[in-house]
């Protein structure tokens, strides 16, 4: 099963690391607790649209880019699941 929140967390973590930012820096910039951001990145919590916007602003990345990357990751996981379900000939 594809979990949107896990893939979203992966994308947000990747963006944060690409920008060389710590959780503490994102937390301060987004005004969201460090622990909550960590839970989002690990796919343990769902991010509201307002929170997601704050995180994207703190990371200086367009929300549409994050959602596009998550959509691509969902498509890849769906394709992999379909391939795994095909019986071997």
Q: What is the pTM assigned to this prediction?
A: 0.89
pLDDT (mean) for 9-38: 97
pLDDT (mean) for 20-42: 97
**Structure token digits, residue 3:** 């979990």
Mind listing the pLDDT tens digit for each residue in 60-88?
Answer: 999 999 999 999 999 999 998 888 777 76
From residue 13, alpha-carbon distances to 31, 47, 83, 86 in Å are 17, 13, 27, 32
Where in the chain are the domains? 4-83
CATH no., domain 4-83: 1.10.260.40
CB 45 within 8 A of CB 36: yes
pLDDT at 17: 98
Mind listing the pLDDT tens digit for each residue in 40-50?
Answer: 999 999 999 99
**Structure token digits, residue 42:** 């690990």
């Amino acid at each position: 099963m594809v979990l949107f929140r896990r893939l979203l967390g992966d994308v947000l973590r990747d963006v944060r690391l690409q920008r060389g930012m710590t959780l503490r820096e994102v937390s301060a910039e987004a005004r969201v607790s460090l622990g909550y951001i960590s839970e989002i990145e690990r796919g343990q919590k769902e991010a509201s649209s307002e929170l997601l916007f704050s995180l994207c602003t703190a990371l200086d990345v367009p929300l549409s880019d994050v959602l596009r990357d998550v959509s691509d990751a969902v498509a890849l996981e769906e394709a992999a699941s379909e391939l795994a379900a095909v019986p071997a000939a």
